[in-house]
Structure formats: structure tokens, C-alpha cells
Chain A
Amino acid sequence: GENVEQHPSTLSVQEGDSAVIKCTYSDSASNYFPWYKQELGKRPQLIIDIRSNVGEKKDQRIAVTLNKTAKHFSLHITETQPEDSAVYFCAAGSPYNQGGKLIFGQGTELSVKP
């Protein structure tokens, strides 16, 4: 069935370093790939997304890359700051065909040490 694998499950970096989180999806019909940040006790919040007609997208310190052939997509955070500490979720979906349903990865707990 549909599945999204995300790794690593935990990631600890020093402030100023880069962080990379990787996801793999199984459903080749997926064409929409959002990333969510969830702080402790809060709701998941969309931070960036990418659609299948684009290979890379950047927004200030965060960027996403997509390899449709390999069914991989990644989140890159540069110049990490303590406030980047949170759980990050990747997701995959096909809004036009699947009623907006998103399949989420297992989450990555990112810790940025000052």
C-alpha cells in the first residue's frame, strides 16, 4: 500500500550546521510533497512544499529536492538555529486523485544545540 519512509528519526546538529532529512515514497501517482514542522504541543505547520513538475525549491534557509525517478525527496536546512528544533514530517499525496489525502512519514526530531 501507500507508504512514506522518513529518516533519520532523530537528528542532532550544532547551531550553524546544516540538517538534511530524507524521504522515500511508494505510490508513483504521488505528485505533491509538503514538509511540516511540529513544535512540542503544537499543530503541524507547513514550511515548504514541492510539486512533481519541479526538481528543487528554496525558501530562505530551507530547500527541498525531488527525484521522481527514484521516488526520493529531501529537506535541507542551512545555518540551523535553536528555534529550528522541532519534529519535521514529510508527506506525499495526489490531491487531484486522492481527495487531498496525505501520507506522512514517521517524523524526524531535530535538535539544534547552541
Chain B
Amino acid sequence: DTAVSQTPKYLVTQMGNDKSIKCEQNLGHDTMYWYKQDSKKFLKIMFSYNNKELIINETVPNRFSPKSPDKAHLNLHINSLELGDSAVYFCASSFRQAGLVFFGQGTRLTVV
């Protein structure tokens, strides 16, 4: 009955690989997000989708491509992984106009 769930929880991969992180929410929210938390714990928004439409795309490299097949899912695909991509990636969701954002449990990505 997890509200926002993402998989995998841990991901260790080599530089240059391509990887995906999946996210699903069962809260009926209309907006989903990807946030990145770096080693200094700083949380920064990457993308926001409202009803499957991309509405926020912060200055994120083109190697990062989100995909929202429906309102309940937002996946993140990363091409040509670099060492600097190592971080914890959080999926989140909300009702856009309500503001209350709920986070998934995070995916710790380590690029070696």
C-alpha cells in the first residue's frame, strides 16, 4: 500500500552504461516529479510532469530522459552514465495546485 514507490532502491553500474529507474504512485495525484539529492544532501528538482505532460525541465543534461506513460507512472532513463551522476534520485507526486509533495523511498545510484 506504498503511496509512491520506485525501483530499484540501489543501483550500482559502470560509467557509460544506460539505466532506468521506475516510479509509480497510487495516490491519484496528477503531478509527478524527479528530484536529485547529492552527497551534500541538497535536494533539487529535475523534472515535473502534470497529466503526462512535461511542465518543468530544469537544466538537466540531455542524457536524462523522463517518460510518463500515464498519470500514475514516471520513469527516468539515464544514458551514458557519468561518475557525477552518483546521487539519490527521488520520485515524488502531488496534486499540482495543492502543493503537498510526497516522496518515494529513493534510488541510490552509484556509478563506478
Residues of chain A having any CB pair with chain B under 8 Å? 32, 34, 36, 38, 42-46, 49, 51, 87, 89, 93, 95-96, 98-104, 106-107
Residues of chain B having any CB pair with chain A under 8 Å? 31, 33, 40-45, 48, 50, 55-56, 90, 94, 96-106
Q: Shortest CB–CB separation between residue A22 and chain B, in angstroms? A: 18
Q: Is the CB of A34 within 8 A of B100?
A: yes
Q: Is the CB of A99 within 8 A of B96?
A: yes
Given A43-B104, A106-B40, 12 further pairs, Cβ under 8 A: A32-B99, A34-B101, A38-B41, A42-B106, A44-B43, A87-B41, A95-B94, A95-B96, A96-B97, A106-B41, A106-B42, A107-B43
Q: Is the CB of A100 within 8 A of B43?
A: no
Interfacial chain B residues near A36, Cβ < 8 Å: 103
How far, in whole Å, are A34 and B43 apart by their CA atoms in the complex? 14
- A-B contacts, 13 of them at CB < 8 A, read A32-B99, A34-B100, A43-B105, A44-B43, A89-B43, A93-B99, A95-B97, A96-B97, A99-B50, A99-B55, A100-B99, A101-B33, A107-B42
How far, in whole Å, are A104 and B94 apart by their CA atoms in the complex? 16
How far, in whole Å, are A76 and B45 apart by their CA atoms in the complex? 26
Q: Is the CB of B90 within 8 A of A102?
A: no
Q: Is the CB of A100 within 8 A of B96?
A: yes
Interfacial chain A residues near B55, Cβ < 8 Å: 99
Q: Which of A44, A46, A100 has the most CB of B within 10 A?
A: A100
* With contact pairs A95-B98, A99-B55 given, residues A107 and B103 touching in the complex (Cβ less than 8 Å): no
Interfacial chain B residues near A42, Cβ < 8 Å: 105-106
How far, in whole Å, are A89 and B43 apart by their CA atoms in the complex? 9
Q: Is the CB of B99 within 8 A of A43?
A: no
* With contact pairs A44-B90, A101-B56 given, residues A95 and B50 touching in the complex (Cβ less than 8 Å): no
Q: Shortest CB–CB separation between residue A9 and chain B, in angstroms? A: 10
B108 closest partner in A (C-beta): A41
